[in-house]
Amino acid sequence: MSTLQGNDFEDGNVLGGPFSEIFVHDLTAATGQCRFCGLDGPMAAVHVYTRAPGVVVRCPGCQEVLLRLVSTPRGLELDASGLSHLSWKL
């Protein structure tokens, strides 16, 4: 893992926009668990990087990648392999 420097990220509240095309329920209201360090918390608290070709969501505890969302000519591609679970209280 490369070391991230500075505060080049936004908080998880920005996830409501790009992820609204995929999820019916607001992703910022969800709880997720990092597959790497086990941190369990609100998605609104994650670190979101938007200066890449797509959106990269990192764990605020260990900085590992939780989610990636990329728009391609074929459509949207989502990789959520960094999450152990994602849940909403309805």
- Could you state, in chain order, the average pLDDT of each consecutive group of 10 residues for the chain (90 residues)? 62 73 79 98 93 91 96 91 93
Reduced to 3 states (helix: H, G, I; strand: E, B; else coil), residue 67 is strand
Task: State residue 6's pLDDT score.
Answer: 60
Distances (CA, A) of 18 to 27, 30, 45, 77, 81: 10, 15, 16, 12, 18
Per residue in 39-58, pLDDT (tens digit) is: 999 999 999 998 878 999 99
Q: Which two tokens stand for residue 59?
A: 């764990």
pTM of the model: 0.79
Distances (CA, A) of 38 to 2, 49, 69, 76: 20, 21, 22, 27
